[in-house]
């Protein structure tokens, strides 16, 4: 009997054509779990000696999914196994899938929808692949994004089929290729989605006639035809590129490159052995564990739906008030999902600039790297720029995105709320001001919440959905559903200054300024942060978000937490000198514009003079800048949990990864803390005791250290 008789079915559309169809009735996608692998193995064993067959076709009954790869949860179950056990696990896949390349007939993978990871390896072991001409169909090996490499034959088979250079690009990047790209690479044929099976059968017939598949089998079982000179050049150039992309923080892409280069001159069996050994070295390593945690954080977030048992209201139209960079980004996210959106501001000039910015964004074509007139015309009907309050108030959801001033925001609500529909939801994009404070004076505070987006909105997936003291469950559920509809990843946050991300970020940002005042250099501070893995340093981040914005946000945090926020002198001095950041071309760096309109940072003598006036001394040579930056962040995260701003450390970690680009290879701030251990962190804090409350271990950190607990426990 089959372990999973309902997942894999065997049919014969013609006497000599076998079709194995995958369709897990309990899941939206097909996953290669151990029971499915065993069932596949059983079917392949039964078919391998059938001399009466012309071909075998593998396909999925799910329209948007061939296979979503291996069962990641099973990976976690086995993550502490020995290297020998891991090699055995890899070889088991080689043995099962390898049968597809040895049958006495043609094997074809008919792919419609996503085909990734282990599913891509099933397909690459077949003689041929045929992909549906469908925008949702793609092929990829995303294993490097989990800190490992393909372990079921991907690194051995695909270089022999599409060439070593192409294989290195696909496997080391983990990025998908669509059907057209697969055709160009010689990876797959293309067929209409509604005639995929018929086309696969025709491909079997064609191969039976030509017997080209037999010649390819022989060629693909041997070494790759490439000279030592070409191999050396490819290794050097690809290695340099990968190193530049990963900064040495992600070992899997380089490991994939190395195993493919080493295996190029060997036969397929040796290549498979090398793959299994390389896979075992990465599996269960710190980066693999961290990236698996990020995978589970993301997977958990997809299931967030707001308060249980509450049905969200339907959002058919939206309004964004504030036509600046943030407002444009939020409105563009609506337009891209074809939600009619009104954009408002105080002047027609501001609205016009905002509308132009939105059209530029939504019409951008990635291939031509410029605007597409057809896309612009398609999206324009969904956008209405206006200064008319009645038009702005007519939407189902209104997102206020004006500047960070509580009085200005409340004055806007006072004018706007009386004109809103009886079910309309009002949201603020505030980054730091408590929602309960902003709700004062509202007649319907239950229909008001925070909806904090991150800049640039088009790239940053996070939205903080913030519950004020009187916000209703229905409002939260609706805000969560709306955020997902416009392509964002929401976390639900209780009210408090700075919420989650900015409350944790601002101590880090402020500490950078205090380090400058102590004599540390801009370069040393930014380098410590990027060396830790952040996409940019805190000084560069000040210029990116705007020093005036940071000054206002810092004021909110200082008033909320005066015992541990030490105001830096540099920030108000910079704002007074009208050095506001990239937006006006002058921040901690000067930003001259080149001929192509690009800004490049240049050190500023004026800034050095401002810093010198604020400095209290010369930096100690043995100062650990990374400790000074990241320990206050960690302590603030523990306080945030103590204050019940969020109840789960996973919300903190996902928020920081999605909101500020906290390095995924560390798994999240609290996951990283767990990898170090609370007791060790308490020891790391001791040299900084003289700096006061901001470096004082919190009760929860001390408790974790004493009991040897982890935050993820």
Q: What is the pLDDT of residues 213-233, one digit of tens each?
A: 999 999 999 999 999 999 999
Predicted pLDDT at 261: 97
Closest Cα partner for 199 from 134, 140, 154, 124? 134
Give the pair of three-digit tokens for residue 299: 């997977």
Q: Compute CA distances 343 → 87, 127, 357, 448, 683, whole Å.
A: 57, 54, 11, 19, 52
For residue 60, name the pLDDT band (cuts at 50, 70, 90).
very high
Residues 499, 531, 533, CA angle at the centre, nearest 5°? 45
Per-residue pLDDT, averaged over 648-661, amounts to 96
CB of 105 closer than 8 Å to CB of 127: no
Averaged over 485-507, what is the pLDDT? 95
Task: From 479, 497, 515, give the residue that closes a domain.
Answer: 497
Q: What is the pLDDT of residues 138-167, one digit of tens each?
A: 999 999 999 999 999 999 999 999 999 999
* Residue 118 contacts residue 70 (beta carbons within 8 Å): yes
- Say if residue 67 is exposed, middle or buried (CB neighbours under 10 Å; 0-12, 13-18, 19+): buried
Selection from 133, 110, 132 nearest residue 122 by Cα: 110
Q: Which of 619, 629, 625 is nearest to 520 (CA)?
A: 619
Q: What is the reported pTM? A: 0.92
Cis ω for the linkage preceding 126 (within 30 of 0): no
Q: Is residue 87 part of a domain?
A: yes
Q: Kindly state whether residues 577 and 454 are assigned to the same domain.
A: no
Nearest partner of 112 among 138, 141, 149, judged by Cα? 138
Domain interval for residue 610? 502-644+677-707
**Residue 313: CB atoms within 10 Å:** 18
Tokens (6 digits) for 401: 């995105």
**CA angle, corner 504, sides to 503 and 505, nearest 5?**
95
Per-residue pLDDT at 618: 65
* Cα dihedral value 325, 327, 331, 332, nearest 10: 10
User: What's the CATH number where 38 sits?
Assistant: 3.90.226.10
DSSP state of 143: G
Rounded to the nearest integer, the mean pLDDT of the chain is: 94
The answer to whether residue 483 is domain-embedded is yes
The two three-digit tokens of residue 627, written as one number: 């400790």
φ, ψ of residue 35 to 5 degrees: the values are -60, -40
Q: How many CB atoms lie within 10 A of CB 31?
A: 21
Chain CA centroid to CA 609, Å = 40
pLDDT more than 90, % of the chain: 88
Residue 4 has pLDDT above 50, yes or no: no
Residues 82 and 113 reside in one and the same domain: yes
Q: Is 459 part of a structural domain of the chain?
A: yes
Q: Are residues 512 and 493 in the same domain?
A: no
Short-list 710, 709, 628, 649, CA closest to 674: 710
| Structural domain includes residue 313 | no
- Helix, strand, coil % over all residues of the chain, rounded to 5: 55, 15, 35
**Per-residue pLDDT tens for 417-436?**
999 999 999 999 999 899 99
> Which pLDDT score, from 0 to 100, does residue 621 have?
62
**Lowest mean pLDDT: which of 364-373, 430-439, 562-571?**
364-373
Domain count, the chain: 3
Residue 620 has pLDDT above 70, yes or no: no
Residue 599 DSSP one-character state: B
The beta strands (E) that lie in 188-244 are given as 189-191
Q: Distance between CA atoms of 336 and 76, rounded to whole angstroms?
A: 37
**Dihedral in degrees, nearest 10, Cα atoms 78, 79, 85, 87:** 120
303 belongs to a structural domain = no
- List residues bridging with 458 in a β-sheet: none
Question: Rounded to an integer, what distance in angstroms lies between the CA atom of residue 67 and that of residue 121?
Answer: 10
> Kindly report the CA angle at 154 between 152 and 155, in degrees rounded to 5?
115
What's the pLDDT at 3? 46
- Across the range 569-598, mean pLDDT stands at 92
Average pLDDT over residues 357-383: 88
The per-residue pLDDT for 659 is 94
Closest CA to 543 of 600, 466, 625, 498: 600
Confidence of residue 76 (pLDDT cuts 50, 70, 90): confident
| Span of 115-129, 405-419, 608-622 with lowest mean pLDDT | 608-622
With helix as H, strand as E and coil as C, how does 99-120 read?
Answer: HHHCCCCEEEEEECCEEECHHH
pLDDT(311) > 80: yes
Q: Which CA distances in Å does 625 have to 560, 636, 638, 678?
A: 26, 18, 21, 20
State how far the Cα of 108 lies from the Cα of 216, in Å rounded to an integer: 14
Query: Would you say residue 601 has pLDDT above 60?
Result: yes
Give the pLDDT score at 353.
95
Using CB atoms within 10 Å of the CB of residue 381, give its burial: 0 to 12 exposed, 13 to 18 middle, 19+ buried. exposed
In this structure, of 29-38, 203-212, 636-645, 651-660, the range with the lowest mean pLDDT score is 29-38
Has residue 130 been placed in a domain? yes
Query: How many CB atoms are located within 10 Å of the residue 83 CB?
Result: 14
**Pair of tokens at residue 38:** 């065993």
Check residue 1 and give its pLDDT: 35
**Closest Cα partner for 567 from 576, 558, 577, 559?**
558
Judging by beta carbons within 10 Å of its beta carbon (0-12, 13-18, 19+), is residue 213 exposed, middle or buried? buried
Lowest mean pLDDT among 360-369, 391-400, 630-639: 360-369
Asked if 519 and 465 sit in the same domain, the reply is: no
Asked whether residue 653 is domain-assigned, the answer is no
Sequence-separated (6 or more) residues with CB below 8 Å from residue 419? 389, 390, 393
Q: What are phi and psi of 310, to 5 degrees?
A: -110, 130
**Are both 376 and 463 inside the same structural domain?**
yes
Q: What is the pLDDT of residue 188?
A: 97
Residue 376's pLDDT is 87
Q: Count helices and strands (H / E) in the chain.
A: 31, 22
- Which residues are part of the catalytic machinery? 452
Query: 266 with 367, same domain?
Result: no
DSSP 305: -
Q: Whole-angstrom Cα distance, residue 25 to residue 554? A: 52
Which CATH number does the domain housing residue 347 bear?
3.40.50.720
pLDDT higher than threshold 70 for residue 2:
no
Query: Is the domain of 247 the same as that of 172?
Result: yes
Same domain, 108 and 70: yes
Mean pLDDT of 305-309: 88
Which of 262, 284, 306 delimits the end of a domain?
Answer: 284
Residue 299 lies in a domain: no
The reported pLDDT for the residue numbered 619 is 60
Q: Which among 453, 420, 452 has a CA at the least distance from the CA of 438? A: 452
Task: State the Cα–Cα distance between residues 340 and 384, nearest whole angstrom.
Answer: 8
- Measured between alpha carbons, how far is 336 from 361 in angstroms, rounded to an integer? 9
Residue 694 has pLDDT above 70, yes or no: yes
Q: Is the pLDDT of residue 70 over 90?
A: no
Are 552 and 537 part of one and the same domain? yes
Tokens 């509604």 correspond to 194
Strands (E), 357-414: 364-365, 370-371, 383-386, 397-400
DSSP secondary structure letter of residue 619: P
CATH number of the domain where residue 607 is located: 1.10.1040.50
Judge if 441 and 524 occupy the same domain.
no
Indicate whether 562 pLDDT > 50: yes
The confidence score (pLDDT) of residue 404 equals: 87
200 against 623, higher pLDDT:
200
- Statement to judge: residues 448 and 323 lie in one domain: yes
105 and 39, same domain (yes or no): yes
């Amino acid at each position: 009997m089959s372990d999973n008789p309902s997942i894999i079915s065997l049919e014969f559309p013609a006497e000599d054509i076998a079709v194995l169809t995958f369709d897990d009735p309990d899941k939206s996608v097909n996953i290669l779990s151990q029971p499915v692998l065993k069932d596949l193995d059983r079917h392949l064993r039964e078919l391998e000696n059938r001399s009466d067959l012309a071909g075998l076709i593998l396909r999925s009954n799910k329209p948007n999914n061939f296979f979503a790869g291996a069962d990641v949860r099973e990976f976690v179950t086995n993550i502490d196994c020995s290297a020998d056990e891991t090699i055995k696990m890899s070889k088991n896949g080689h043995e099962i899938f390898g049968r597809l390349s040895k049958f006495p007939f043609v094997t074809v993978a008919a792919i419609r929808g996503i085909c990734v990871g282990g599913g891509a390896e099933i397909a690459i072991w077949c003689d041929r692949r045929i992909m549906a001409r469908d925008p949702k169909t793609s092929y990829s090996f995303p294993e490097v994004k989990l800190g490992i490499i393909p372990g079921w034959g991907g690194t051995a088979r695909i270089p022999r089929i599409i060439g070593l250079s192409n294989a290195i690009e696909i496997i080391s990047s983990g990025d998908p290729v669509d059907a057209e790209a697969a055709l160009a690479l010689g990876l797959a044929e293309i067929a209409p989605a509604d005639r995929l099976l018929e086309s696969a059968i025709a491909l079997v017939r064609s191969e039976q006639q030509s017997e080209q598949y037999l010649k390819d089998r022989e060629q693909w079982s041997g070494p790759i035809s490439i000279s030592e000179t070409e191999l050396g050049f490819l290794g050097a150039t690809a290695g340099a590129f990968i190193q530049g992309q990963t900064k040495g923080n992600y070992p899997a892409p380089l490991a994939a490159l190395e195993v493919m280069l080493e295996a190029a001159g060997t036969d397929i069996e040796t290549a498979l052995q090398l793959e299994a050994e390389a896979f075992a070295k990465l599996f269960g390593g710190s980066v693999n564990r961290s990236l698996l945690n990020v995978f589970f954080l993301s997977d958990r977030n997809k299931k967030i739906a707001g308060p249980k048992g509450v049905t969200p209201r339907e959002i058919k139209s939206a309004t964004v008030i504030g036509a600046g960079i943030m407002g444009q980004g939020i409105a563009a996210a609506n337009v891209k999902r074809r939600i009619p959106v009104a954009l408002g501001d105080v002047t027609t000039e501001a609205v016009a600039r905002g509308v132009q910015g939105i059209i530029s964004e939504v019409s951008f074509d990635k291939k031509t790297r410029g605007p597409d007139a057809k896309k612009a015309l398609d999206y324009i009907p969904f956008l209405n720029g206006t200064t008319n309050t009645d038009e702005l108030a007519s939407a189902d959801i209104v997102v206020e995105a004006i500047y960070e001033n509580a009085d200005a925001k409340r004055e806007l609500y006072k004018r706007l709320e009386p004109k809103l529909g009886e079910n309309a939801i009002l949201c603020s994009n505030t980054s730091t001001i408590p929602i309960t404070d902003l709700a004062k004076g509202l007649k319907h505070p239950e229909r008001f919440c925070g909806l904090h987006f991150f800049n640039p909105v088009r790239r940053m997936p996070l939205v903080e959905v913030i519950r004020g003291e009187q916000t209703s469950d229905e409002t939260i559920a609706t805000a969560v559903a709306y955020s997902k509809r416009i392509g964002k990843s929401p976390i639900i946050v209780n009210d408090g200054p700075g919420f989650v991300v900015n409350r944790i970020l601002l101590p880090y940002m402020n500490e950078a300024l205090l380090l400058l005042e102590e004599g540390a250099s801009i370069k040393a501070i930014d380098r410590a942060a990027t060396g830790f893995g952040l996409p940019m340093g805190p000084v560069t981040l000040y210029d990116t978000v705007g020093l005036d914005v940071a000054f206002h946000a810092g004021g909110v945090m200082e008033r909320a937490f005066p015992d541990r926020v030490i105001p830096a002198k540099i920030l108000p001095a910079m704002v007074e000198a009208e050095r506001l950041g990239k937006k006006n071309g002058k921040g901690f760096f000067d930003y001259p514009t080149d001929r192509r309109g690009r800004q490049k940072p240049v050190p500023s003598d004026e800034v050095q003079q401002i810093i010198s006036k604020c400095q209290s001394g010369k930096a100690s040579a043995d100062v650990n800048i990374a400790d000074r930056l990241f320990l206050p962040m960690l302590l603030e995260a523990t306080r945030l949990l103590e204050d019940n701003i969020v109840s789960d450390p996973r919300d903190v970690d996902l928020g920081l990864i999605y909101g500020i680009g906290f390095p995924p290879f560390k798994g999240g701030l609290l996951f990283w803390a767990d990898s170090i251990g609370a007791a060790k962190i308490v020891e790391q804090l001791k040299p900084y005791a003289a700096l006061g409350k901001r470096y004082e271990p919190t009760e929860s950190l001390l408790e974790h250290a004493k009991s040897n607990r982890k935050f993820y426990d």
